[in-house]
Amino acid sequence: MKKTPPQENSSSGLHTRYENIVSFWTKKEYELQELIINGIVVHREIPGKTLKTIPFARIDIFYDSPNGIGRKAINGVEHKVYQEAKKFLSIGELDLLNDNWIRAKYEGKYNWNDPFCRKPIYDKTLPSWITGKSLVDATKKLTKKIKDQAAKAVKESEASLDKRINEFVKHLDLPKEKIKESPLQDLFLTKDIDPKDVADKNSLSTLYKHIKGDRELSKGKAIEYARTLGVAPASLMFEPQTITVWSNVRFSSNVKNSEGKILSNQGECYQRSKMEVTLCPSDIYRLDIKAIRVNDPESIYDGFMAYYYETNTISDTANNKLCMIRTKNKSKTLLDGYYRYFLGIYQIFGTKKIILNPDPLAQNKILADDITPDIVAPIISFTNPIAMFADKVLSKNLKQVQQLGELIRKEREDATAKIRNQIKELETKIEAQNKQILKTKLFGYQGLLANDNDDIIVPEFLKREEKKRA
């Protein structure tokens, strides 16, 4: 199996690197290599927290090629990176790119220390033969001698690296002031919406300024655009808030280290070494809001986020609700005691207080028995943040969306059977078109459209317990 040596190319605002594949500039060159996309990883800067005056992004596309695993890495100005990555993609592959592109907007994983994409970026959506290979290769290299050499090289090359990064962005001709980012940008970029379908000729230049963020979007204009697109006006005016995830939790099993030692029990919160951020629904955002991530591939709630407001008391309404519970670990001496934090269903059971496992599929139904809590904070929202990335636009056929909106408004004014039938017929038509698009997908992101309801799900075993007590 012959390996293709890495190839690199830089242009204004963009740097690309090809590994084990031949660089391609036309669709024919791409198709001749018979490349099959195995995964797409996207890293972006968080809106409002960009290092430069314009956001940067990084995309790695992994291929199954005749020569083995190949990679195309793209780094640079955000919109240019996206346009380069979407070249020659099929409908399903483009959907995968769009899903990952939107999801990465608030993860904050973009790293400025590798502008030339020498080191691949991975995530858990990639198949095991890619991530597994990277782990094996990395393990082979982690000898003490190489570690020492690498540490020395990094220390000596910090100044050189800073210089290379500065050289990389020097010729980009970036604006002197940071541009104002707009939620409209991703909507028009990923959905391939023609601005001419949204605004008339007289208002087209204003719409372009709103998309670029050069002009602040007023409430009146947001309502006008939202009516055409069939979305909520607030989603076009404001970016969702991002907050820090202070801990993780696992419901299906204990968290152990590489030596098999238990670090935290089921349902007990633990902190990871790296900082994580997540989206917070705008309707519940406050400065004192906290978030706990369910990090458990074996759980039906994997990826879910539990939001609650910080407190130092036990809520009067916490019984039988999903809560963050803090208990004091009993010890012989005061100095040996420490706090434990749980995410579970708080229940007063006679004279005892217990914590139930919210995951109905977990074997262990009781997380902690006979506890003495000092803080119990009800979870105000338990949802998968990915649901907030789901498509805002009902259909790409904006004329159908507008027609549907007009019929709904007429139906409110004059409720007739004829209008109701027209609404039902149009909704069925749009749903059928969306289903047809889904059928053509080659890839998808599991859980993207899964349960975007913010209500807490009551497990079936709890319902049965309630019936027994009744």
Give the pLDDT confidence of 175-211 residue by residue, as tens digits: 666 666 777 787 777 777 778 877 778 888 888 888 7
Instruction: Reply yes or no on whether the pLDDT at 469 is more than 60.
Output: no
pLDDT score at 455: 41
- From 1-5, 24-28, 456-460, the region with the lowest mean pLDDT: 456-460
Confidence at 447, pLDDT banded by 50, 70, 90: very low
Confidence at 144, pLDDT banded by 50, 70, 90: low
pLDDT score at 250: 95
Confidence at 449, pLDDT banded by 50, 70, 90: very low
- From 47-61, 220-234, 243-257, the region with the lowest mean pLDDT: 220-234
| Rounded Cα–Cα distance for residues 174 and 51 (Å) | 12
Cβ atoms of 85 and 40 closer than 8 Å = yes
pLDDT score at 409: 54
pLDDT score at 341: 94
| Rounded Cα–Cα distance for residues 31 and 302 (Å) | 37
Q: Which of 73, 76, 65 is nearest to 31 (CA)?
A: 65
Confidence at 172, pLDDT banded by 50, 70, 90: low
For the chain, which residues make up each domain, given as ranges? 7-141, 183-239, 242-386, 391-439
Residue that is written with structure tokens 């338990």 in the block? 382
Cβ atoms of 373 and 327 closer than 8 Å = yes
* C-alpha Rg value of the chain to the nearest Å: 26
pLDDT score at 233: 77
3-state secondary structure of 216: coil
pLDDT score at 116: 87
Residue 387 per-residue DSSP state: G
Q: Which residue has the higher pLDDT, 129 or 88?
A: 88
Confidence at 222, pLDDT banded by 50, 70, 90: confident
Kindly tell me the burial class for residue 125, based on how many C-beta atoms sit within 10 Å of its own C-beta (0-12, 13-18, 19 or more): middle
Cβ atoms of 122 and 69 closer than 8 Å = no
Q: Which of 443, 438, 459 is nearest to 300 (CA)?
A: 459
| Rounded Cα–Cα distance for residues 343 and 293 (Å) | 10
242-386 placed in CATH 1.20.58: no
Confidence at 145, pLDDT banded by 50, 70, 90: low
pLDDT score at 186: 78
Number of other residues whose CB lies within 10 A of the CB of residue 468:
6
Mean pLDDT of the chain: 78
pLDDT score at 451: 38
pTM: 0.57
Contacts of 261 (CB under 8 A, 6+ apart): none
- From 113-122, 180-189, 350-359, 440-449, the region with the lowest mean pLDDT: 440-449
Contacts of 210 (CB under 8 A, 6+ apart): 182, 184, 217, 221, 225
- From 4-8, 317-321, 411-415, 419-423, the region with the lowest mean pLDDT: 411-415
Confidence at 294, pLDDT banded by 50, 70, 90: very high
| Rounded Cα–Cα distance for residues 131 and 407 (Å) | 51
- Give the mean model confidence (pLDDT) for residues 225-229: 78
pLDDT score at 454: 39
pLDDT score at 441: 43
- Give the mean model confidence (pLDDT) for residues 43-58: 86
Instruction: Reply yes or no on whether the pLDDT at 452 is more than 80.
Output: no
Q: How many CA atoms are closer than 13 Å to the CA of 316, on its beta-carbon side?
A: 0
| Rounded Cα–Cα distance for residues 453 and 90 (Å) | 31
* Amino acid, res. 132: G
Number of other residues whose CB lies within 10 A of the CB of residue 277:
16
Q: Which residue has the higher pLDDT, 168 or 470?
A: 168
Confidence at 306, pLDDT banded by 50, 70, 90: very high
